[in-house]
Structure 1
Amino acid sequence: MHPEPAFPTLTKAADGLPQNGAVDAADADALATGIDELVEVTARVRAAVESVVSGRPSLAWLTVAVLLAEGHLLIEDVPGVGKTTLAKALARSVDCQVGRIQFTPDLLPSDLTGVNIFRAQTHEFEFRPGPVFNNIVIGDEINRASPKTQSALLECMEEGQTTVDGTSHRLPRPFIVVATQNPVEMEGTYPLPEAQRDRFTARLTVGYPDTAAELLMLDRQEALSPLAHLSPVTTGATVLRLAELVRHVHASPAVKQYVLDVVGATREHPALRLGASPRASLQLLKVAKASAAMDGREYVLPDDVQQLAVHVVAHRLILTTEARLAGTTTQGVVTQIVERTPVPAASPGRR
């Protein structure tokens, strides 16, 4: 276990800084020091994840970026490509409370959130928390449960709390749901409601590994699962401090407008019946800040937005019937929008 660094506390929020880039020298030094520590810690987490899911570093990068943005991750692909392994690798890399839920058609909402149990000895009800009362919640095959059960996560993911029998209970922080799902055309699946898809910060597709990565997997897992040797490289408290630091990464007005232009274009695209929500704009900027910090920068570039747009926006969109029949995909639509949206001429960092 590596020693955990003490992260500095900033005294000003990023949006409260002067627009000309001027910043208090003490805050600038604290942010720079914090970014250095963030790069070191996240590199350890990514290395731990990549030791299990080899040959696909972009998966680890996006997973850690969503973690720092205090978001939720949806991993979608066919069975057997490592969706659950990726989720477990992240959970084992962070020393915090982890809960796992195997979604099935007979799962009830109370199986997720918890239930009040009557104690005859005290003549009182006692709340028994469910698996959502953990820092990292792994939802395996989330779209095999009924829509009623899936919707039990809506309040948890958006408000960080759950309500049982009229009483609200706060969830621990950090709180991240890492859910896996099979393609909707497979047997025994229910499509996720639009409201729930919108609460997932990003969606990634694992995909099949290339030949070299699959050969490495065969060598590593011939005798023992690599998850068995994976040890925590950071703590939940450190992740929470890092997430607070990410909020102070600077996004210029031009970059914010670029985010709005990309997201806004989905609401007018002829191939889409439903465009991205304002929540998509907020989460795209948050993940872009996290990605910039992981890259060692104190400011966001349009490149950060471009690289993340498909992962953050595409799963929120709904195609028109004509576009779907023509073979159009939401990923393709977002890629087209990014290519056509003018990039800000200059996006300077802080001075």
Structure 2
Amino acid sequence: MKNVYERVVGRRREILMIVSALEAGKHIFLEGPPGTSKSTILQAVSECTGRQYCLVTGNSDLTTSKLIGYFDPAETLARGYRPEFFQYGPLLQAMKEGMYLYVEEFNRLPDETTNVFITAMSEKRLTVPRLGIVAADPAFRIIAALNPLDDIGISRISRALKDRFTSIRIDYQTREEEIEIVRRRTGGAEDGIVELAVDIARETRKHPDLKLGASVRGSIDMVDVYRSGRDLQPGNPSGALKAGDLKTQAAFMAFRNKIWLYETSERKPEEIIEEIMERLERQKKK
């Protein structure tokens, strides 16, 4: 566990409970907003337990056949249905090889697609026409990420499916932890830009005009863009952006597409970002 804790900033409680559930043979829902290190936690846990994982992203196009697999049409037409011609989908591959199947945006899957998970978890096997029965390796687990703030919420997931999962809430981290995450990902920067970028993201999460604020990804993008812009104009030549203007423009680029305004709001993302930056500057001067 020590190696996992060293790789991930904070999250000790979450990591301990996730590993405990996996080792106990449970499947897990990771419930939380985007950008809360769910994928990072999974990567670290995968290394800790020595298990590989297979990643799929939930959407309306992810059908049952894509999850399970199919026979190669050309080979089948020429030589008939043979096991060696079967192309394993991510679900069947994970079952066969004892992998973690990580499904992002699970709540975006069509109902008919989610039903196959019930069979895989309850019976620990799937029957594939012309291939036969594929039994799940004892190490097989499903880890599904859910975004409760999405328009397609978690309420539509059937009770039968929910009952087969354990669940843990993955929320935003503390200010200090987010600052450390940004420093690690960007290499750090001067001028207090890391702290400013983190504070902007945190303020967006409680702004009355925003349905969904920015995650730490926005803070990382702001620091990267600002530092790159600063390096491209050494000495601040005539006509180039001054440091304050560069910070503002970097914030616009980093956050404008990561905040989600209420449909009734008539404001622009840039207005809200600038308002937050001005408020933070006033607080700094007090």
Instruction: With the length of structure 1 as denominator, give the TM-score of the two structures.
Output: 0.47
In structure 1, give the amino acid aligned to 2:168. Answer: L
In the alignment, what sits opposite 1:207? 171
Q: Which runs of 5+ in 1 are unaligned?
A: 1-45, 225-351
Matched, 1:196 2:153: no
- 1:1-351 equivalences under 5 Å are 46-118=1-73, 119-125=76-82, 126-132=85-91, 133-134=93-94, 135-165=99-129, 167-183=132-148, 185-189=149-153, 191-200=156-165, 202-223=166-187
Report the number of matched residues: 177
In 2, the alpha carbon distance for the partners of 1:210 and 1:160 equals 39
In structure 2, give the amino acid aligned to 1:115. Answer: Y
**1:64-90 deviation line (CA, Å, top 9, x unaligned):** 111111111110011111122222222
**1:27-53 deviation line (CA, Å, top 9, x unaligned):** xxxxxxxxxxxxxxxxxxx33332343
In structure 1, give the amino acid aligned to 2:87. Answer: R
**1:175-205 deviation line (CA, Å, top 9, x unaligned):** 111110110x5224462111111111x2111
Task: Please report how far the alpha carbon of residue 95 of structure 1 lies from its aligned counterpart in structure 2 after TM superposition.
Answer: 3.1
3-state SS of the aligned residue for 2:133?
A: strand
In 2, the alpha carbon distance for the partners of 1:193 and 1:52 equals 35
In 2, the alpha carbon distance for the partners of 1:112 and 1:213 equals 36
Question: Cα distance 1:151–1:51, how it changes in 2: closer, same or farther (>3 A)?
Answer: farther
In structure 1, give the amino acid aligned to 2:38. Answer: K
Instruction: With the length of structure 2 as denominator, give the TM-score of the two structures.
Output: 0.57
In 1, the alpha carbon distance for the partners of 2:89 and 2:5 equals 30
Contact 1:145 1:189 in 2 (8 A): no
In structure 1, give the amino acid aligned to 2:137. Answer: P
In 2, the alpha carbon distance for the partners of 1:86 and 1:76 equals 13
Percent of aligned pairs with the same amino acid: 24
In 1, the alpha carbon distance for the partners of 2:50 and 2:134 equals 23
In structure 2, give the amino acid aligned to 1:63. Answer: I
3-state SS of the aligned residue for 2:157?
A: coil
**1:182-231 deviation line (CA, Å, top 9, x unaligned):** 10x5224462111111111x21111111122112211222249xxxxxxx
Contact 2:71 2:81 in 1 (8 A): no
Task: Please report how far the alpha carbon of residue 150 of structure 1 lies from its aligned counterpart in structure 2 after TM superposition.
Answer: 1.3
Question: Cα distance 1:62–1:124, how it changes in 2: closer, same or farther (>3 A)?
Answer: same
Q: Which runs of 5+ in 2 are unaligned?
A: 189-286
Contact 2:120 2:126 in 1 (8 A): yes
Contact 1:54 1:216 in 2 (8 A): yes
In structure 2, give the amino acid aligned to 1:143. Answer: N
In structure 2, give the amino acid aligned to 1:204. Answer: I
Question: Cα distance 1:163–1:213, how it changes in 2: closer, same or farther (>3 A)?
Answer: same
Task: Flag the structure with more relative contact order, 1 or 2, with Cα contacts below 8 A and sequence separation at least 6.
Answer: 1
In 1, the alpha carbon distance for the partners of 2:32 and 2:157 equals 14
In 1, the alpha carbon distance for the partners of 2:150 and 2:136 equals 33
In 2, the alpha carbon distance for the partners of 1:192 and 1:88 equals 26
3-state SS of the aligned residue for 1:70?
A: coil
**1:105-134 deviation line (CA, Å, top 9, x unaligned):** 111011112223342342224332211222
